Structure 1
Amino acid sequence: MSANMVLPLHEVLGETVGGVARDALFQGAGMRYLPGPQDHVRERQVFEIHQSVRDLHSDQSEAILREAGRRAAAIVAEYRIPASAKTMLRRLPWPLATWMLVRSASQNAWTFGGSATFEAPKTSQLSLVGNPSIKDARSKKPLCVFHETLFQTLFRALVHPAMLCTETGCEACGEEACTFTLEMQNLD
């Protein structure tokens, strides 16, 4: 998986829980050295880091994961999407731009989904089957706030600022896939 799945968390954890707690969390996940932005990270480490945030900092975990998702999306938008593609997406009608960005996400799903199967049965619905960031986790509520925020921030930055992304199903809740619904916010 892309180092973008853990580098923003490293930064946010340093700001919220401090460097000592952050470093212990990363070392507990078997990550002694921080990867570079171009490096790949093991799925197991991504899961262990994300799960440790949920376990060790449960009262702050949603805010931490959301902020890390926002920062991860900003990195993708800034460094991974060519300027010409950004300009084109912003000029297209939002349904077409959404379709194009979903297609691009499908081609690069390993970066945020690892070995998970990424599907887009409809342009407005994305799913990850076997999401490594929540592997074997159990919850009464959806856990994929990192991915939800990553997708929403990307679609808002590249397609339209009124795009919403909501996790509507989660493997941690017993669903077959982590499912995300994209929609245009009511502008009335």
Structure 2
Amino acid sequence: MKIRSFILPLLLLFTLQLTAQEDTLAIAADEVVQEPAYRPYDPLSPARAAFYSAVLPGLGQAYNGKYWKIPIVYTALGVGVYFYRENDRQYDRYRSAYKSRIAGKTDDEFSNENGQPIVSTNALIEAQRFYQRNKEISVLVTVGLYALNIIDANVDAHLQQFNVSEDLSLRPSLDYDRFSGTAGYGLTLNFNF
């Protein structure tokens, strides 16, 4: 008799506990809003991102939400412009000294106080060629980095539309032998599409 009086309240308590858990789960399931893990497919999104990056470098990265790439884009382009300007300044120095020597003057910055040349005229010509070549390389590198900025925005917009869901994952499972009732030591990889 004591056991029955003890079991009946215990079963009642257990039933109430299960009912309370179901209500909590039902409320929690109603409150959860499912958002897709990726953007819906927009075929013009990559073209739009590339166009934005072509108009203003870094704008395509901002359109894609990759704000951390914007300083990298501007640093890369700034370095290219800096080297162009520095090579242009050096080229102008040697070019004006060469023009001064051709005109018969001896007061350029590559001559001493007595008018004796420290750097020969042939060296001035070679320096001009060197800095002219470096200017051209700087322009090519800067244009290449600008194009890379556009390509990065385009590819990043394409990859954001790539669907990577839980259905496209590998899940290991342990093999269970039903005939002998024991677990096998094999490993199976399942592809769920």
TM-score norm. by structure 1 comes to 0.20
TM-score norm. by structure 2 comes to 0.19
